[in-house]
Structure 1
Amino acid sequence: MTTTDQSRPPGADLPDHPDFLWRDPEPRRAYDVVVVGGGGHGLATAYYLAKVHGITNVAVLEKGWLAGGNMARNTTIIRSNYLWDESSGIYEHSLKLWEGLEEDLGYPILFSQRGVLNLAHSLQDVRDSVRRVNANRLNGIDAEWVDADGVKELCPIVNTSPDVRYPVLGATYQPRAGIAKHDYVAWGFARAAAAMGVDLIQNCEVTGIETRDGKVVGLDTSRGRIAAGKVALCAAGHSSVLAKMAGIDLPLVSHPLQALVSELLEPVHPTVVMSNAVHVYVSQAHKGELVMGAGIDSYAGYGQRGAFHIIEDQMAAALELFPVFARAHLLRTWAGIVDVTPDASPIVGLTPVENLYLNCGWGTGGFKATPGVGDCFAHTVAKGKPHPYAEPFTLDRFTTGALVDEHGAAAVAH
């Protein structure tokens, strides 16, 4: 199944075809709720609007193909071991949903709870890591501190020699963390939402947001005007562009975030390893590729391409931690577009425009939040007020000063 035919596999000409995942409808002229952005967050929001709140007159608009943006370009790490109560709350809510998501959607998502190691390479790293473990435990989140021997036991291919530039002194470990198959997650949400009556409309770019007397009333799109009772923005790196159409300036900067995969290999990497000092994180996908990433590019932009100097730095970092990878071949590289707030935490909630709702600013942490924020954002849209887990992440925190600063609480891209 390719990205161009995933809604209609070959031969799937009728809605009752066993391989048919979702309809490909023409947009209607009006909906109760229009979700802008057909990635993981948009699809999950539509699903929970229908399932939990009974709101099915919903359209999801995607300018390209469903899940063709950051959802198709991320490295699929799922964890909840964040430092601050506010962050750990929403991510732990999400992780608990991940644990039952395959059964809930009735669709395989290949969720693999193989654990995540966040390495410490200095005494300050150790202090910060132990602090985070204790904070996690206070919030009921599984977290452990392991020494260098413990790291070696959990992941034998990590180089724990003391004779390296950044020796491994230990790591935090979250056993329930892991990875999932991003395409399957998107297809599962899309299939389930469509089955409850949600319209999934591809190749439909929003070109304008229409307001009247301070209230959103509709959208101009490349497929005509669509009236909307409520509009929910889930457009990741392009959120600031869309919000500007409604006269809202968001405290966001968009950056490329690059990642890469190796050729297919036999199983060699049993967990997920992240390192902020060496600046790389590595897991092994279900098919066998090594999946690697690092931090965001320092420049602002909307490019979705890799760059050689980033690849070179990532490879040097990966080989320092994993000498066994020295003869692996790079298969492909790419970039997503991440939207970053001043405090490295998301924005979820209401806007100054009535009935216009915002879910953005997830930076590098969007995939792991998919079911959790879908549930919370659907609640926010349906009820017209923030879900308790989303209350700390409202837009007005940038005027009140109640920031949730997660810059240093997570290794590399979080």
Structure 2
Amino acid sequence: MPWRLLKRGLVGGREPRFFPEERPLKSRYDVVIIGGGGHGLACAYYLAKEHGITDVAVLEQGYLGGGNTGRNTTIVRSNYLTPEGVRFYDTSRRLFEDLSGELDINLFYSTRGHYTLAHSDGALRTMRWRAEVNKHHGVDSRVVDRTAIAADVPFLDLDCGGRSPVQGALYHAPGAVARHDAVAWGFGRGAANRGVELHQQTRVTGIRTEGGRVAGVSTSRGDLECGAVVSAAAGSTPRITDMVGLPTPVRVFPLQACVSEPVKPFLDTIVVSGSLHVYVSQSSRGELVMGSAVDPAVLHSTRSSFEFVEGLADRLLDLFPFAARLRLMRQWAGMADMTPDFAPVMGTTPVAGFYLDGGWGTWGFKATPASGMTMAWTVANGRNHELIEPFRLSRFDDLRLVGERGAASVGH
């Protein structure tokens, strides 16, 4: 029996609340963060912890962690293609490793190893390219052959039913999974315990500017004044940026996923195939967690579809034929805010006091700690943190794009 439970039974008393009591919405804050998911809550946490900025309100239109943070597939990795991406995501991965202790919550962080399969000569060349970039920045990635894959993932059909034989793979040893909702809750509790206010069921309906600067926010619960606004609204990013007249290239596409019934553990790695548009890992409960690429049409919706499950099942069975006997337990969708170069948009904007954390597409969860840390620094200092300077919005004007499509399109 856990000691904590035994102590509660012997001593009695009530378990303390996970979050402090919600306070009434004030008329003014130093900083308002739009979005109570992982990124918004992490930003609030680091603002309070690292910079002593606690007059902060996090406004969430639903419930904490109920957006994309609670709808992703929990993969953490840093085997990206560009130097900018590798540096950023490896910072985030390293923060993840110690996050359970820092936030005093079990995130079920589990290092698994991450295989990105190559089914063609062209794909194998890209894997070698990524491996060299990763190694240059101290990230453990290497190209492995079919023999190594077969030894580590014995249930994988390397011939894929004869349709798209696997030629090799990029193996990223630090690849991991973590419990997504606990990440949001941990950051939220850490922020709230330091004085940050968390307001659920509070929809932002407008942002007021004066002289080109943010002056206040209108919500479903009333208006308030503020000195700075951070948009961490994921699939709602275009709606928020429209409120300040800020054009961005962000477009929103549904991203679907599903899980199978739990089975005896057999897959202790993460397997991704960009060519087949499928990825799969096995949860600590034995479920297969599966997903694919984003849907092909712009749509602000979280409705899942039979077409997704049908197509995913067909491709998954090329890799794991025996999975045909498994039942699907549930499926869901999130809203992926995509950019043309498959990299995020972060930092300052032409509207003074308005900070943007968006364009995360399919790779936002793994960025949570680093995003919160760098955005908090940016707000506190009024200029972009060096890690996110390459992701500034103005890169689309001066054509200094960060081309991550080769490493981000389905790898999640």
In 2, distance between residues paired with 1:76 and 1:185? 10
How much has 1:275 moved relative to structure 2?
A: 0.1
Indicate the residue corresponding to 1:233 in structure 2. 231
In 2, distance between residues paired with 1:384 and 1:165? 53
In 1, distance between residues paired with 2:346 and 2:314? 37
Q: Which amino acid in the other structure matches residue 152 of structure 1? A: A
Poorly superposed stretches of 4+, deviation over 3 Å? none
2:51 equivalent to 1:53: yes
2:391 equivalent to 1:393: yes
Match of 1:249 among 247, 253, 262: 247
How much has 1:149 moved relative to structure 2?
A: 1.2
Q: Which amino acid in the other structure matches residue 137 of structure 2? A: N
SS of 1:282's equivalent in the other structure is strand
Indicate the residue corresponding to 1:113 in structure 2. 111
Indicate the residue corresponding to 1:13 in structure 2. none
Match of 1:154 among 145, 152, 155: 152
Q: What is the identity percentage for the equivalent residue pairs of Structure 1 and Structure 2?
A: 47
Indicate the residue corresponding to 2:276 in structure 1. 278
How much has 1:413 moved relative to structure 2?
A: 4.4
In 1, distance between residues paired with 2:399 and 2:388? 16
Residue pair 1:118, 1:411 contacting (<8 A) in 2 also: no
Residue pair 1:257, 1:338 contacting (<8 A) in 2 also: yes
Give 1:14-413 correspondences, 5 Å limit: 17-161=15-159, 164-410=162-408, 412-413=410-411
Residue pair 2:115, 2:169 contacting (<8 A) in 1 also: yes
How much has 1:104 moved relative to structure 2?
A: 1.1
How much has 1:279 moved relative to structure 2?
A: 1.3
In 2, distance between residues paired with 1:187 and 1:22? 12
* Structure 2 unaligned residues grouped into runs of 5+: 1-13
SS of 1:264's equivalent in the other structure is coil
In 1, distance between residues paired with 2:162 and 2:137? 35
Residue pair 2:342, 2:408 contacting (<8 A) in 1 also: no
In 2, distance between residues paired with 1:28 and 1:163? 61
How much has 1:17 moved relative to structure 2?
A: 4.1
In 2, distance between residues paired with 1:99 and 1:378? 20
SS of 1:378's equivalent in the other structure is helix
In 2, distance between residues paired with 1:158 and 1:249? 45
Residue pair 1:40, 1:71 contacting (<8 A) in 2 also: yes
In 2, distance between residues paired with 1:154 and 1:27? 53
How much has 1:177 moved relative to structure 2?
A: 1.2
Residue pair 1:274, 1:411 contacting (<8 A) in 2 also: no
Residue pair 1:305, 1:333 contacting (<8 A) in 2 also: no
How much has 1:30 moved relative to structure 2?
A: 0.9
In 2, distance between residues paired with 1:357 and 1:411? 26
Larger mean Cα displacement after TM superposition, 161-170 or 361-370: 161-170
In 2, distance between residues paired with 1:233 and 1:166? 42
TM-score of the superposition, structure 2-length normalised? 0.95
SS of 1:240's equivalent in the other structure is helix
How much has 1:324 moved relative to structure 2?
A: 2.2
In 2, distance between residues paired with 1:83 and 1:211? 38
In 1, distance between residues paired with 2:177 and 2:409? 16
How much has 1:139 moved relative to structure 2?
A: 0.9
* Structure 1 unaligned residues grouped into runs of 5+: 1-15
Residue pair 1:61, 1:201 contacting (<8 A) in 2 also: yes
How much has 1:328 moved relative to structure 2?
A: 0.5
Residue pair 2:362, 2:410 contacting (<8 A) in 1 also: no
Q: Which amino acid in the other structure matches residue 191 of structure 2? A: A
Q: Any idea what the Cα deviations from partners look like across 1:351-380, whole Å, max 9, x if unmatched?
A: 111101000001100000000111011111
How much has 1:144 moved relative to structure 2?
A: 1.5
How much has 1:410 moved relative to structure 2?
A: 3.6
In 1, distance between residues paired with 2:299 and 2:23? 33
Q: Which amino acid in the other structure matches residue 196 of structure 1? A: R
TM-score of the superposition, structure 1-length normalised? 0.94
Q: Any idea what the Cα deviations from partners look like across 1:80-132, whole Å, max 9, x if unmatched?
A: 00010011111011001001111111111011011110001111111111111
In 1, distance between residues paired with 2:175 and 2:158? 22
Q: Which amino acid in the other structure matches residue 97 of structure 1? A: L
In 2, distance between residues paired with 1:361 and 1:370? 13
SS of 2:129's equivalent in the other structure is helix
Report the count of equivalent residues: 399
In 1, distance between residues paired with 2:142 and 2:259? 29
Q: Any idea what the Cα deviations from partners look like across 1:195-252, whole Å, max 9, x if unmatched?
A: 1011000000000000011110110000101111111000011111111011111111
How much has 1:273 moved relative to structure 2?
A: 0.3
Q: Any idea what the Cα deviations from partners look like across 1:372-397, whole Å, max 9, x if unmatched?
A: 11101111111100000000000100
SS of 1:80's equivalent in the other structure is coil
Residue pair 2:34, 2:58 contacting (<8 A) in 1 also: yes
In 2, distance between residues paired with 1:22 and 1:287? 30
